[in-house]
């Protein structure tokens, strides 16, 4: 899982796909944080992406860096603990301009039943489950 976290952080940007009825939706994301042994991402409850995840927690993310890419498929589960939000905001202090632990908007989700696939041209894909 740390390898997944490090790849996503090094890539800087990943693309998060959600399901909106029968329409896939995708957008750039950057937040990723390990807390309490799980891999978290952050968003705001007001966003469509949040509403889509609450309706259907199955997501996939993809990032590319230096000729290699990763896909992580799984479910996102909201963690409503203040300390989970705090850990994320501490990892991204710039986010505090827009978010805070107690604003009623900030939310963090962790991956459950995740399958990460590392791929590079000319190499066999490597699968990690967490």
Ligand X SMILES: Cc1cc2nc3c(=O)[nH]c(=O)nc-3n(C[C@H](O)[C@H](O)[C@H](O)COP(=O)(O)O)c2cc1C
If binding is defined by CB under 6 A, does position 91 make contact with ligand X?
A: no
Q: Among candidates 109, 119, 115, which has minimal Cα distance to 31?
A: 109
Binding to ligand X, residues 32-51 (CB under 6 A): 42-44, 47-49
Residue nearer to ligand X on the CB measure, 6 or 48: 48
Least CB distance from residue 31 to ligand X, whole Å? 3
Which part of the chain contacts ligand X (CB under 6 A), choosing from 23-31, 58-66, 78-86, 101-109? 23-31
Residue nearer to ligand X on the CB measure, 103 or 126: 103
Q: Classify 71 as helix, strand or coil.
A: strand
Least CB distance from residue 126 to ligand X, whole Å? 25
Instruction: Output DSSP code: residue 123.
Output: S
Residue nearer to ligand X on the CB measure, 45 or 123: 45
**Dihedral in degrees, nearest 10, Cα atoms 84, 3, 27, 51:** -30
Strands 33-35 and 126-129: what pairing? unpaired
CA distance 26 to 47: 13
């Amino acid at each position: 899982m740390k390898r997944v976290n490090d790849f996503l952080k090094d890539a800087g940007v990943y693309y998060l796909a959600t399901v909106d009825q029968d329409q896939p939706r995708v957008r750039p994301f950057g937040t990723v944080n390990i807390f309490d042994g799980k891999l978290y991402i952050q968003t705001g409850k007001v966003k469509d992406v949040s509403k889509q995840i609450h309706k259907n927690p199955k997501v996939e993310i993809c990032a590319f860096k230096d000729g290699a890419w990763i896909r992580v498929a799984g479910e996102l589960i909201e963690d409503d603990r203040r300390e989970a939000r705090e850990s994320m905001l501490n990892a991204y202090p710039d986010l505090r301009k827009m978010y805070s632990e107690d604003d009623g908007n900030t939310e963090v989700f962790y991956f459950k039943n995740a399958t990460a696939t590392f791929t590079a041209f000319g190499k066999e894909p490597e699968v990690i489950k967490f």
